[in-house]
Structure 1
Amino acid sequence: MKEKLVVIVGPTAVGKTKMGIELSKRLDGEVISGDSMQVYKRMDIGTAKVTKEEMEGIPHHLIDIKEPDEPFSVAEFQSLVQPLISLLNKKGKLPFIVGGTGLYINSVIHNFNFAEMSTDLPFREEMEQFVKEHGVDQLHHKLKDVDPVSYATIHPNNYRRVIRALEVIKRTGKTLSEYQQSQNEEAPYDFVFVGLTMDRDQLYERINKRVDIMIDQGLFEEAKRLYDQGIRGCQSVQAIGYKEIYDYIEGKVTREEAIELLKRNSRRYAKRQFTWFRNKANVHWFDMTNTNFNKKITEIQQFIEGKLYNYSEIN
């Protein structure tokens, strides 16, 4: 029998964290963070990292495992998550991957073979130098004609992902999505793919409010501490929420402009997350617009039980 797994995805601010915790409480599960930024220590506010109080006793994995100046790749994510899924299944726990980083999640449920394509270090170094000389936006523009899907779904600030997409084209002649599709063999897990969605205007309002709360909680101060510690030019601080404030710290924008850019970039990120997941045929979507949260939890719980368990197993 295949190991069981539940994946909860959706755009930022839609309510994935709370949903993952509540479902874990009901279904004897543990949460694996599927967010590529919550691995970093001391980056709590800007990544909307779940607090100990919010966890309500549910164990969370892959949070605070990296220093902010360390790289973190999709291949490393896969190598950490797959043994963890096995361990939780052996313990009789139901693993919940909760997050919005589509490539990372797909690498696990479709078991991408990263060893198949070796790294082209000279090309990566060439592209890193290009970024230093011309900036992330010009690098991102290189994708527009050769890989429009990656161009639309990868943020320019995530320049290492952009370089990886360009590297895949150079090494294989395929776009990143074509290369991934070629590896989409039968999933190694008996898994349920739950997607949370919401009316766009309501979601954007939630995103704007979340940014205001982050500011009140001390996001500018958190970013300034990282900046003063010399955490600059790293993968971690290219993320939305830090890049904008770093620009403010360096005098490139005003405080008000940084906040508006953060809200705008967060909304655009949510749109890219929709773009990534909406074409995935195996995602079952649940609308969170103006919904009774407890009723929705019950609906999703029953859906998961119906997909993963026989009636005799849950009674």
Structure 2
Amino acid sequence: MVESFNIITFVVGQTASGKSCWAIKEAIKSGGAILNADSIQIYRHLNIGAAKPTSEDQKRVEHFLYDMVLPSEEFTAGDYRRAALAVIEKELPSRPLFIVGGSGFYLQALENGMFEVSPISAEIKKKVSLLIDSNQLYSELCHVDPISAKRIEANDTYRLRRALEVTLSEGKAFSKIDEQFRKSRKRLKDKYRVRKIGIGCDKEKLRHRVTLRAEMMLSAGLIDEVERLINMGYADTKALNSVGYKEVASFLSGGMKKEELLQAIITSTMQLAKRQMTWFKRDKEIVWY
């Protein structure tokens, strides 16, 4: 049963496509608020490279789920779902909400739910890490859960690791747990009115936007931001392995020349945009603008 007249609008698309701009305009017109669905913007101290909303934007429209954790802290799709649902339950009765971002795992977890498992022990994490180091992660998953192994690309270390850790921790194949969950899950649209908007952008226009954004980030002090984060002890975190940050970190460690940095950021960003579009094109419920 739908519990609120107000609508939840997912605003998705590639990085730099103009999602946030579109959502802010619509939120202003409707008196709504914005929820972040970008896995980098949840980190504190990552500002320039994360392209967070400006202070002016945040004055115009209330924003939620930004600056939630330190770069050294883990924040899973399950954590995101719980945080987002708490905001939705509190805010949706009084105004429409726009969920904006390009992190497919976050959006999928919120929309479709996800199964809960016990915390993975340090022992299992260490065992799986050793398999990664010896390039045996995929072969081990093939052995204990061939169905999951068939569904996951052999070079997708994050998903392979998650599937193997859960399988070893729960004593049951990840694919079997997932199957049981899918039979009993409750989707967001079972409780709320939901629509999905995709902000499209042709490749050449997107490359132009990405180039301008990368230039602006470097001019705004991205190198200093990354250097500061490294000095704070965040060099080896997942956050600093994200697009833009990892290229600057490589430059600071002597991995590339300064004149190569801009193009490296552009290339990585365009690769990310391609992966994002591949993900979102699978969802036939998205209406593209």
Please report the TM-score for the alignment, with normalisation by the length of structure 2. 0.83
Please say if 1:240 is aligned against 2:240. no
Q: CA deviation at 1:256?
A: 2.7
Aligned 1:1-315 pairs, distance under 5 A: 1-3=2-4, 4-90=7-93, 92-113=94-115, 115=116, 117-121=117-121, 122-129=123-130, 133=133, 147=149, 150-151=152-153, 160=158, 163-167=161-165, 171-174=172-175, 185-187=186-188, 188-286=191-289
> Hey, what's the Cα distance between the residues in 2 that align with 1:102 and 1:180?
19
> Hey, what's the Cα distance between the residues in 2 that align with 1:203 and 1:141?
35
The SS at the match of 1:96 is strand
The SS at the match of 1:195 is strand
> Hey, what's the Cα distance between the residues in 2 that align with 1:28 and 1:140?
49
Q: Are the equivalent residues in 2 in contact too, given 1:24–1:30 (CA < 8 A)?
A: yes
Consecutive unaligned residues of structure 1, counting only runs of 5 or more, are 287-315
What letter is aligned with 1:216? S
What letter is aligned with 2:27? S
> Hey, what's the Cα distance between the residues in 1 that align with 2:203 and 2:281?
14
Q: CA deviation at 1:182?
A: 5.8
> Hey, what's the Cα distance between the residues in 2 that align with 1:176 and 1:150?
16
Residue deviations 1:129-167 (CA, integer Å, cap 9, x gap):
455x46xxx689879996576549x9x7xx655522444
Residue deviations 1:253-278 (CA, integer Å, cap 9, x gap):
22233332221111010001001110
> Hey, what's the Cα distance between the residues in 2 that align with 1:263 and 1:21?
25
After superposition, the Cα gap between the structure-2 partners of 1:109 and 1:44, relative to the gap in structure 1 and judged at 3 Å, is same
> Hey, what's the Cα distance between the residues in 2 that align with 1:53 and 1:275?
33
Q: CA deviation at 1:54?
A: 2.6
After superposition, the Cα gap between the structure-2 partners of 1:71 and 1:285, relative to the gap in structure 1 and judged at 3 Å, is same
Q: CA deviation at 1:124?
A: 2.5
After superposition, the Cα gap between the structure-2 partners of 1:27 and 1:162, relative to the gap in structure 1 and judged at 3 Å, is farther
What letter is aligned with 1:164? R
After superposition, the Cα gap between the structure-2 partners of 1:150 and 1:32, relative to the gap in structure 1 and judged at 3 Å, is farther
The count of corresponding residues between Structure 1 and Structure 2 is: 275
What letter is aligned with 2:162? R
What letter is aligned with 1:217? A
Q: CA deviation at 1:108?
A: 1.0
Q: Are the equivalent residues in 2 in contact too, given 1:32–1:97 (CA < 8 A)?
A: yes
Q: CA deviation at 1:198?
A: 1.2
Residue deviations 1:216-236 (CA, integer Å, cap 9, x gap):
111111101111111121121
Residue deviations 1:70-106 (CA, integer Å, cap 9, x gap):
111111111111011011123x111111001011011
Identity within the alignment, % = 25
> Hey, what's the Cα distance between the residues in 1 that align with 2:56 and 2:255?
37
Residue deviations 1:260-302 (CA, integer Å, cap 9, x gap):
222111101000100111011211111xxxxxxxxxxxxxxxx
The SS at the match of 1:174 is helix
> Hey, what's the Cα distance between the residues in 1 that align with 2:177 and 2:253?
34
CA RMSD of aligned residues (A): 3.0
> Hey, what's the Cα distance between the residues in 1 that align with 2:182 and 2:251?
40
Tell me the residue number matched to 1:298: none
Q: Are the equivalent residues in 2 in contact too, given 1:40–1:64 (CA < 8 A)?
A: yes
The SS at the match of 2:256 is coil
What letter is aligned with 1:126? K
